[in-house]
Structure 1
Amino acid sequence: MLADASIYGVALYAVGRSAKRKLQAAHLSGWLQLALALGVLSEVIRRFMFGSEPASTLMMCFGVIALIANATCLILIFKSKDDGAHMKASWIFSSNDVIANVGVILAGVLVAMTGSRYPDLVIGLLISGLVLHGAHRILKLKS
């Protein structure tokens, strides 16, 4: 949630500013998303190496709450997604969040069904790739 708040804070800072500042804000968001992707990846590696006991019910509950919050943000951003690089970055970030939330819920279901930690690790790896791809898309923005 800290990553979400940071990205939205950067986007809000850029509102009403020049196109150059909006692009700079978007690129800052891209770097923040890159840091998030690396953080997720390092957590997946840590859990793989040292073990983990994913709590499937907790994963699903937080996944649903986050999905509702992120889907709401995505709906709010929709009308303004083309109003500058900062809004495009927010759209990319929020879209990825919604996909990641569905992934967390799916991981929770699969962990509950199988009793294995591997669905959590595999989906965590996929989420880190998704976030990394989003960071790349944001950092490529030109306007």
Structure 2
Amino acid sequence: MACGDCCASSTTAPGYDPRWRRALWIALGVNVAMFAAEIVAGVSGGSKALQADALDFLGDSANYAISLGVAGMAIAWRARAALLKGATLAMLGVYVLAAAIWAVWHGGTPEAGLMGVVGVIALIANGGVVLMLYRWRSGDANMRSVWICSRNDAIGNVAVVLAAIGVFGTGTAWPDLIVAGVMAVLGISGGAQIIMQARAEIVPNGRGYTVPAE
């Protein structure tokens, strides 16, 4: 959920490099698999940070799928896709923040060992995606946004591992809840920025919004 405005739609047409598209398909598969693994581990281990990271993987999966789906399309479709992406990211952030606040009074101490192991696996998975996309870090806006999001998510994985160490060291849930809260706020903020940028590409016509002709 740490994409920020890097995931917003761009007026620059995405590249058509088949190697980039293949990399996105691989990244999509990795993120879907890690979402499934982390959400199960987060719920069973009582870790809000793992659940937040799992939803981050889900958000990234949507990001990669949208990037693949609208590649080469006109700005109209990229703007609509960005609106959907931003709204989804913000809603996921609200859910995680609400769950973290609820856990302050009703939650228990998460399993630090499980958090650490799954967090390291997630870091390795995201790190591999970052390295795979590294060659396109200086490409067009769409390519660069995908790489920056993946890089930021790897940093989020480090935070989850640190939270696990904090839970183990303190014997409390506070490190887990703090990391989950920070990730949730970043998700809400990032979703809002994406929505604002996408809406800036849409012109009001008195009956809603339409995308200007190119």
TM-score (normalised: structure 2)? 0.57
CA distance in 2, matches of 1:91, 1:23: 19
3-state SS in 2 of match to 1:132: helix
TM-superposed deviation, 1:99: 2.8
TM-superposed CA distance for 1:125, in Å, is 1.0
Does residue 189 of structure 2 align to residue 133 of structure 1? yes
- For these two proteins, the number of residue pairs brought into alignment is 142
The answer on 1:7 being equivalent to 2:63 is: yes
Matching residue of 1:24:
80
1:109 aligns with 2:170: no
Deviations 1:85-129 (A, max 9, x none): 5x5664554344223211111110000111111111111111111
Q: Displacement, 1:140?
A: 3.1
Q: Which one has the bigger helix percentage?
A: 1
Note if contact 1:73-1:94 (Cα within 8 Å) is conserved in structure 2: yes
Note if contact 1:70-1:98 (Cα within 8 Å) is conserved in structure 2.
Answer: yes
> Which amino acid letter does the alignment assign opposite residue 130 of structure 2?
L
Deviates more, 1:27-36 or 1:69-78: 69-78
Separation in 2, partners of 1:81, 1:131: 24
Instruction: Classify 1:121/1:131 alpha carbon distance in 2 versus 1 (closer, same or farther; 3 Å).
Output: same
Q: Which runs of 5+ in 2 are unaligned?
A: 1-34, 36-57, 202-214
Provide the residue aligned with 1:119 in structure 2: 175
- 1:66 counterpart residue number: 122
Counterparts of 1:37 and 1:5, CA distance in 2: 15
> Match for 1:108: what amino acid?
A
Q: CA 1:38–1:88 in structure 2 vs 1: closer, same or farther (change >3 Å)? A: farther
Q: Aligned partners of 1:67 and 1:118: how far apart in 2?
A: 21
Q: Which of the two has higher C-alpha Rg?
A: 2
Contact 2:109 2:171 in 1 (8 A): no
Letter in 1 for 2:76: K
Whether the 8 Å CA contact 1:48–1:121 is kept in 2: the answer is yes
Determine the C-alpha separation between the residues in 2 that align with 1:118 and 1:64: 20
Q: CA deviation at 1:21?
A: 1.4
Unaligned regions of 5+ residues in structure 1, if any? none
Q: Which one of the candidate residues 68, 90, 99 is aligned to 1:34?
A: 90
Once residues 14 and 61 of structure 1 are traced to their aligned partners in structure 2, the CA distance between those partners, rounded to angstroms, is 36
**Which stretch shifts more, 67-76 or 54-63?**
67-76
Determine the structure 1 residue equivalent to 2:17.
none
Letter in 1 for 2:150: S
- In the other structure, the counterpart of 1:55 is 111
TM-score, normalised relative to structure 1: 0.81
